[in-house]
Chains A and B, each alone.
Chain A
Amino acid sequence: MAEYVHDTGGPLFHIGRYMLMVKRSFSNPERASMLWKEILRQMSNIGVGSLVIIILISFFIGAVSAVQFAYNLSGSMVPMYFVGYVVKESMILELAPTISCLILAGKVGSNLASELGTMRLTEQIDALEIMGVNTFSYLIGPKLIAALTMVPLLVIISAATGIGGGMLAGSFTGYVSISDYTQGILMNFVQKNIFIMLTKAAVFGFVLTSISCYQGFYAHGSAIEIGKASTRAVVLSCIMVLFADLILAWLLLN
């Protein structure tokens, strides 16, 4: 209800309201076909819309990691195929899920917060509520579902691109040959690491989307508040993604 918008409170108030928002977002929709249409639209926004930036950044992260690690190994007794192994492990375990989600927090998070904030300020959310539409399940639910499915896919693409970027950079700079790098990639493959990567991706995707939706949905005041809500969405999402990263690393790697 619009009334919540006018209320302000401490951290406990926001945590409680956030929990209720998440719960209501997964409640029964009025019309499943409308929900499905909205999920597809959000999958396109979040997934397809972020593909280029994820590929570009992951490529360079993988490339820089390979060059820097090869530089550190040069002159040492460690064989060069370790470059491939280290880039693979770091991309899968940390860089692909975490860096991708920090990028998504900036791109998708600000977009979601400003979209919902604008809808709130221009009374579009009120209009939906007047019609009797469950605004949580219609507006927020599809975004959460889309993030839960698309962010892991983006992270898989990110990891693959980063590893590929490392291979090209290593070969191009002459530090490590493609065959050595491939040997490193194939060395000591741990299936659990893929599971950890996908778990991180899903959790981070959920965290950044829900926090951004929360900031936008409860924006109030003038147009300047949309900018503030958008900034809060990005900053909080980044902090919570890193916090979740720490918790997951502790839980999953122990």
Chain B
Amino acid sequence: MIEVKDLGKKFGSQQVLEDVSTIFETGKNNLIIGKSGSGKTVLLKCIVGLLSPTVGHVFFDGKDYVAMNIDQKNEIRRELGMLFQGGALFDSLTVEQNVRFPLDMFTKMSASEKLDRVNEVLKRVNLVNANHKFPSQLSGGMQKRTGIARAIVMNPKYLFCDEPNSGLDPQTSIVIDELIMEITEEYQITTITNTHDMNSVITNGDKIIFLHQGKKHWEGTKETLFMAENKELIDFIFASDFLKEARDVRLNKLKAKQSKQ
């Protein structure tokens, strides 16, 4: 479980995050949503420690991450994996070397044990026969899968995904979303995903945080999303006429169901 308490971040005089508090639960896919510039990436970077919050705390299973020294932070970092928007794969390394990198750096496993583990996670993300390819030879979806494989190779307790669907076609997006969901449930990890993708929000949001102008405006689940009253959230999620109609249909169904009960 990750708890964020009264988190704020300023860049110079610009307040980017203000007073954000929430709990991200274990075994669930927690989504952070919001418009571009709403502070999603800054919140994610503050949680993982790439940025230091100006105020507030981040607790990893009760341990205050913000107050830790660099060695203590590195201990926590060994337990977290992150999938970056662009994959962030190391250009000069092959898929196998990319996925093996954390094992080479932090474990004393033998070469054959490492190879077995790498093949195991590559199989898990449905990426076979790509071991010796370089990132430049992979499609966007394959790069994301490699990123996920590298993120989970050390059996992390926490998984962070920064816009995992960006640049992918709708079908591949669904495949990546399902993969993240399956891994979250299978390994019982705390997953935090930063997304713009409405399909992800509606189908995968075990818990959803909506940020607007650096503040938390709404918190709920994919089930409560349709009944939310927050204007900014409704404008953001149901931006097109098609989605507005879909929301009305869904709301009517829910109301009809409630009145029957």
Residues of A at under 8 Å CB distance from B? 1-3, 6, 30-31, 34, 118, 122-124, 126-127, 129-133
Contacts and interface: CB of A to CB of B under 8 A. Distances in A.
B104 A31 contact: yes
Contacts of B218: none
B124 interface: no
Tell me if A's interface is mostly helix, strand, loop or mixed: helix
Interface string B58-94: 0000000000000001110110111011101111000
A6 B77 contact: no
Contacts, number: 61
The 4 closest A-B pairs by CB, nearest first: A132-B77, A132-B74, A123-B88, A127-B88
Interface in B112-165: 160
B51 A126 contact: no
Give the most central of A2, A3, A34, A118: most B CB within 10 Å: A3
A118 B91 CA distance: 10
Nearest to B81: A130
A34 B77 contact: no
A2 B50 contact: yes
Q: Taking chain B's interface residues, is the majority helix, strand, or loop, or is none over half, making it mixed? A: mixed
A104 B74 CA distance: 36
B256 interface: no
Contact of A132 (B45, B78, B84): B78
Nearest to B75: A132
B84 A127 contact: yes
Given A130-B80, A130-B160, 20 more contacts: A1-B50, A1-B51, A2-B51, A6-B11, A31-B104, A123-B84, A123-B85, A123-B88, A124-B91, A127-B82, A130-B50, A131-B78, A131-B101, A131-B102, A131-B106, A132-B73, A132-B75, A132-B77, A132-B78, A133-B105
Nearest to B92: A41
A30 B71 CA distance: 11
